[in-house]
């Protein structure tokens, strides 16, 4: 039996399907009020509980040979670490303790690529990169890094078997509200503004394959970047608009403007207690090339690299079908 947390989310639902395709029995831990549309019709065992309650976590883990911890609070506002501590750090601690108590064979912790320093297209970031100090101002990224270190510390202590995977930006069929927001900045627009930076885009199905392969054959205590193709935002939006056949005027937003707005966002959160999407740390990320390589995962996990165009077009077709 494999327990999957966050199974009703984008990556979690793909992980469940990949596990079922490999003939594993799957238990999913979800909140009672969760949107379960992504799991509709799948032959899984449901455990209704809260990750922030240690007793619920222990019950969910009991009897499982493997645990894949996908669930996380994955938003970029507010930026305070305290807003992410319970769900991203404390719950990870509860799961590691429950795994040790129940004798789980292996845990896979799903972290984020932001735990490693980004690189350029010619020299992309790897698992050897350190956590960027300035990212401590991103409550989400810093909480994931601290949780990742918590897991790896337990492995180094010698009494815990775990592997970490670090996906980049995931493209896939997301049934939850807000899915595909990144496409809204350019679809059906005559003028499309875009940041000057870029990021790595990974196919959801490929990422799920990497997660399950890490469970089966990843090296104990290792981290694996699950990355796809490195694209600038302009390149990404060109692919998106190519699907629609429209050619909006593409205008880059200068870095200094993004950072200026980001400073205003910091002021709003700190002094007005009104968190906004664009803070200085988020603006800085939009100005950078957040590029990574999946070379280690390809070599050790047989990780499949799917061209971003295929993932983008498949996802756009699916969104269109949902709206029709």
CATH number assigned to the domain comprising residue 121: 3.40.50.720
**Residue 98: which domain range?**
2-171+201-228+291-306
pTM reported for the whole predicted model: 0.95
Cα 218 from Cα 174, distance rounded (Å): 27
Is there a domain that residue 112 lies in?
yes
Q: Domain tally for the chain?
A: 1
Is there a domain that residue 105 lies in?
yes
Crossing angle for the helix pair 280-287 and 255-271, nearest 10 degrees?
Answer: 160
DSSP helix, strand, coil percent of the chain (3-state; round to 5):
45, 20, 35
Output the six-digit token pair for 95: 């799961």
Is there a domain that residue 95 lies in?
yes
Q: How much is the pLDDT for 178?
A: 58
Comparison of pLDDT for 77 and 311, the residue scoring more:
311
- In the block, residue with structure tokens 């699916």: 318
Split at pLDDT 50, 70, 90, the class of 92 is very high
Residues 6 or more apart whose CB falls under 8 angstroms from that of 235 comprise 198
9-33 residue pLDDT tens: 999 999 999 999 999 999 999 999 8
Output the six-digit token pair for 163: 């592997």
Q: Does the pLDDT at position 192 exceed 90?
A: no
Is there a domain that residue 284 lies in?
no
Cα 194 from Cα 186, distance rounded (Å): 9
Q: How much is the pLDDT for 190?
A: 83
Q: Does the pLDDT at position 181 exceed 80?
A: no
Is there a domain that residue 71 lies in?
yes
Residues 6 or more apart whose CB falls under 8 angstroms from that of 120 comprise 289, 291
Long-range contacts of 41-44 (CB under 8 A, 24+ apart): 42/16, 42/17, 44/7, 44/16, 44/20
Is there a domain that residue 163 lies in?
yes
Is there a domain that residue 131 lies in?
yes
Is there a domain that residue 58 lies in?
yes
Q: What's the whole-number average pLDDT of the chain?
A: 94
User: Which of 146, 123, 185, 179 minimizes the C-alpha distance to 10?
Assistant: 179
Cα 91 from Cα 306, distance rounded (Å): 32
Q: Does the pLDDT at position 244 exceed 90?
A: no
């Amino acid at each position: 039996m494999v327990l999957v947390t966050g199974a009703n989310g984008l990556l979690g639902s793909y992980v469940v399907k990949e596990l079922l395709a490999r003939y594993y029995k799957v238990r999913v831990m979800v909140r009672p009020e969760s949107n379960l549309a992504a799991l509709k019709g799948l032959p899984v065992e449901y455990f209704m509980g809260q990750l922030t309650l240690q007793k619920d976590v222990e019950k969910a883990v009991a009897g499982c040979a493997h645990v894949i911890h996908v669930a996380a609070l994955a938003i970029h506002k507010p930026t305070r670490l305290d807003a992410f501590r319970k769900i991203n750090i404390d719950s990870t601690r509860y799961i590691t303790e429950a795994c040790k108590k129940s004798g789980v064979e292996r845990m896979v912790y799903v972290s984020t690529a932001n735990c490693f320093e980004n690189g350029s297209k010619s020299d992309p970031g790897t698992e050897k990169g350190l956590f960027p100090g300035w990212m401590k101002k991103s409550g989400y990224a810093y909480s994931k890094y601290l949780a990742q270190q918590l897991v790896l510390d337990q492995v180094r202590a010698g009494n815990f078997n775990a592997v970490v995977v670090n996906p980049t930006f995931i493209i896939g069929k997301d049934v939850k509200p807000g899915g595909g927001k990144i496409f809204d900045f350019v679809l059906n627009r005559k003028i499309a503004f875009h940041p000057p930076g870029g990021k790595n885009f990974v196919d959801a199905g490929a990422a799920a394959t990497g997660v399950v392969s890490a469970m089966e054959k990843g090296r104990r205590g290792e981290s694996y970047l699950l990355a796809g193709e490195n694209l600038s935002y302009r390149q990404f939006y060109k692919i998106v608009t190519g699907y629609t056949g429209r050619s909006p005027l593409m205008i880059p937003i200068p870095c200094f403007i993004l950072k200026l707005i980001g400073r205003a966002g910091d002021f709003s959160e700190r002094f007005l207690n009104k968190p906004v999407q664009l803070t200085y740390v988020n603006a800085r990320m939009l100005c950078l090339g957040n590029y990574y390589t999946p070379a280690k995962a390809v070599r050790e996990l047989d990780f499949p690299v799917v061209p971003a165009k295929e993932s983008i077009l498949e996802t756009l077709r699916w969104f269109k079908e949902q709206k029709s």
